[in-house]
Amino acid sequence: MRRIAILGATGSIGKSALDVIARHPDRFEAYALTANTRAEELAELCRQFRPRLACIADPAAGPLLRKLLRDAGLKTEVLTGAESLVEAATRPDVDSVVASIVGAAGLSSSLAAAHAGKRILLANKEALVMAGPIFMDAVRSGGATLLPIDSEHNAIFQCLPPEGGSFRDRGVKKVLLTASGGPFRLRDRSTMHGITPEEACAHPNWVMGRKISVDSATMMNKGLEVVEAHWLFGATSSQIEVVIHPQSVIHSMVEYADASVIAQLGNPDMRTPIAQVLAYPERIDSGVRSLDLATIGTLTFERPDFKRFPALRIAYDALAHGGTAPAVMNAANEVAVAAFLDRRLPFLQITTIIEETINRLGALPLQSLDDVLAADLAAREHASQLISRVQLSAA
């Protein structure tokens, strides 16, 4: 029986993970569930899964969560505040941690799980983008196991040979990250000014949280994934190629020295990679229907357009600059996406804000978590100032 902590249980990934867990009550126990503010959603999940621990980051939501659980006759222990997420991630009884909080808010708990030597099932790509070397050091020194949930990285993980070592030692030439191209793949940039949050969140293939949906629309999601692939697999930027594949059936590929290309395919449903890492190295039912290739008929591929979607170029540049540049990029993106979702920033300005913030703050050496947090804070402040100026000039 694996005892699982789900950080971000009320989100899209959290709920998909609980769906898989519910199919295998003999294998998995949802030991701890966490949320940010949504006490009612968390209480409903507690009624269903009866975890031993429920944590809510917003202290103001604690009394409501306690009342709802008391009314339901549950004995679930309730903790509140950001530090309660770290408690959920590090409890000695917890074996695996599904790290599915969105954004930088997930860093401290994911990192704590690494230090505590847990099996980390990582969806929270932003943690790795911000703090790649620190995070990977914590995984090594804590004796943790890091398994990727992100569908592309999970596909690469499945296509790589099981034994470790450098790409050269393993005969790997490069990884090919597939990208759907998002909802605006075919849209002319000159028509993108008035794009609304509703349009940006309407992804053609995947149902996801709002932040990652906007990241997919700008293609910053693929940019974040390039950095994520660098840290997870030790690939250099020239060993990471992005290919647009609108059907989202091939989730990514690995090319070997002999020009063999191994791909992982499946319907676009996050329960597949979640089930793969939950049960690894075994295989279990995920609830996802079988792939019907004859009905799909055609799989197509295109090169990414770096001019219409500058976010991808910005991410490759940030990876090349190294140091704190990816943390600055991530923070500026989070602030700009939040402003876009609040209708305070036009869609096309998201990447402008990110690029201007990186140009202003540059890349400083990254040696400690403090360096990461300082870069994150400075980028948030600078991006917010830039957004205020955009709003003033629009008024």
Ligand X SMILES: NC(=O)c1ccc[n+]([C@@H]2O[C@H](COP(=O)([O-])OP(=O)(O)OC[C@H]3O[C@@H](n4cnc5c(N)ncnc54)[C@H](OP(=O)(O)O)[C@@H]3O)[C@@H](O)[C@H]2O)c1
Pick one of 36, 90, 108, 178: the residue that binds ligand X (CB under 6 A): 36
182 binds ligand X (CB under 6 A): no
Q: Nearer Cβ to ligand X, position 18 or 167?
A: 18
Pick one of 4, 8, 65, 134: the residue that binds ligand X (CB under 6 A): 8
Pick one of 33, 45, 107, 126: the residue that binds ligand X (CB under 6 A): 126
Count of chain residues binding ligand X (CB under 6 A):
29
Q: Nearer Cβ to ligand X, position 9 or 120?
A: 9
Q: Which stretch binds ligand X (CB under 6 A): 98-106, 137-145, 157-165, 328-336?
A: 98-106
CB 166, min distance to ligand X, A: 26
10 binds ligand X (CB under 6 A): yes
150 binds ligand X (CB under 6 A): yes
333 binds ligand X (CB under 6 A): no
Q: Nearer Cβ to ligand X, position 273 or 304?
A: 273
Q: Nearer Cβ to ligand X, position 67 or 193?
A: 67
- Subset of 202-241 contacting ligand X (CB under 6 A): 206, 208-209, 211-212
Nearest residue to the partner ligand X, using Cβ: 11
148 binds ligand X (CB under 6 A): no
Pick one of 270, 328, 336, 383: the residue that binds ligand X (CB under 6 A): 270
- Asked if 142 and 117 touch (Cβ cutoff 8 Å), the reply is yes
35 binds ligand X (CB under 6 A): yes
Q: Nearer Cβ to ligand X, position 1 or 22?
A: 22
266 binds ligand X (CB under 6 A): no
Q: Which residues bind ligand X (CB under 6 A)?
A: 8-14, 35-38, 41, 57, 85, 100-102, 105, 123-126, 150, 206, 208-209, 211-212, 270
